[in-house]
Amino acid sequence: MNILIIGGAGFLGANLVRRCLAEPDVRVTVMDSLDPHLHATVQNLQEVWPRIRFIRGDMRDETLLAKIVQGQDVIFNCAAQTSHPLSIQYPLLDAEINCLGNLKLLESIRLLNSSARVIYTSSSTVIGKARTKVVDEEHPEHPLEIYSANKGVAEKYYRIYHTLHDLQTVVLRFANLYGPYGKGFQDFGFINYFIHLAQTDQEIKLFGSGSQTRNVLYVEDAVDLLWHAAQEPRLIGESLFATSEEHRSVCEIAETIVRVFQSGKVTHIDWPEERKRIEVDHVVFSSGRIRSLIDWKPRYDLESGLRRTREVMGNSRLKAEG
């Protein structure tokens, strides 16, 4: 099986590369722009480097896309500009990557490899603030910032290319992933940022009380689901929440990280006004739809996922030093 992973040097992509390589008879091509602003790095792929074909390139490059989509059986698109604040600061750039980039990819696949399975990693934030106690796929979309709006637009492209052109598209909306190879930066996933702060024995500063709830999902469970999406015909044409049923308060998440990593501490500060404007408050997602279609459920809860993260990161550090 020939597999292309776009954005494969980032957090989710690097974990997905390892998941795919665990299968027999696969040939994995990774494309990544290695944009320094997005903090992807080939160091995330160091131990698997001999087993992959790597291409440095941008999803907006139509000439490159035309070359690399051909001959692929499965195409995963994990590439994105994922910072909510950066999307507000640079809205046109966000649209170029998260909208136009996806449209160029889909058009290349339509013209040159229409039989490929195409899986797009979207975001649960497309809905904005929750208007129901539990959020499922019927919930309306009222995104609060540019990133979430553009991810929602890209979802529609995948659905349209399925209905109009019969492409085998699958859209998975992830929420609050964490785990090895995460970005230790404030604007790129809060759980991985908290892990970085704890590892370096810094304060985890929570805005307000930290009582707002979030679903959490360990990245190994996420990439297992992505592998399912590459195999299961029942997911074709769907746009689905890909979450665990486990939800915790932000404060509880931070305190658990400090306890598991045995360093750092939790403090509280006032909400910055610019953050308050894009805060979704309490939200609980249902994964009932996807579980009704396939046999998948997460293997890790928050504590075991954090312990696994600590173990993998420790082993990776030892290998790098050795």
Parallel, antiparallel, or unpaired for β 213-215 and 247-249? antiparallel
Q: Does residue 298 sit within a domain?
A: yes
User: Is there a domain that residue 239 lies in?
Assistant: yes
Among 25, 32, 48, residue whose Cα is nearest residue 180: 48
Strand partners, 170: 119
pLDDT of res. 322: 47
Taking the C-alpha atoms of residue 218 and residue 193, their distance in angstroms, rounded to an integer, is 14
Rounded-to-10 torsion of CA 200, 206, 211, 212: -90
Domain hosting residue 52, numbered range:
2-179+217-243+285-302
Portion of the chain with pLDDT greater than 70, in percent? 98
Query: How far is residue 30's CA from residue 170's CA, in Å, rounded to a whole number?
Result: 19
Question: Is the model's pTM score more than 0.85?
Answer: yes
CA distances from 273 to 88, 180, 251, 276 (A): 14, 31, 20, 5
Tokens matching residue 105? 């990819």
- Is 78 a domain residue? yes
- Cβ distance 204 to 245 under 8 Å? no
What is the spatial distance between Cα 22 and Cα 19, in angstroms, rounded to a whole number? 5
pLDDT score recorded for residue 318: 43
Q: What is the pLDDT of residues 199-213, one digit of tens each?
A: 999 999 999 899 999
The Cα 182–Cα 188 span in angstroms is 9
pLDDT tens digits for range 30-75: 999 998 877 789 999 999 999 999 999 999 999 999 999 999 999 9
Per-residue exposure over 207-224, b if at least 16 CB sit within 10 Å of its own CB, e if not: eeebebbbbbbbbbbbbb
Residue 318 is assigned to a structural domain of this protein: no
Q: Answer yes or no: is 257 within a domain.
A: no
pLDDT at residue 37, rounded to an integer = 76
316 confidence band (pLDDT: 50, 70, 90): low
DSSP state of 285: B
Instruction: Examine residue 278 and state whether it is found in any structural domain, yes or no.
Output: no
Q: What is the CATH number of the domain that holds 44?
A: 3.40.50.720
Token pair in block for residue 268: 């509280």
pLDDT at 217 > cutoff 70:
yes
pLDDT of residue 78: 97
> Quick one: DSSP state of residue 270?
P
Q: How many domains does the chain have?
A: 1
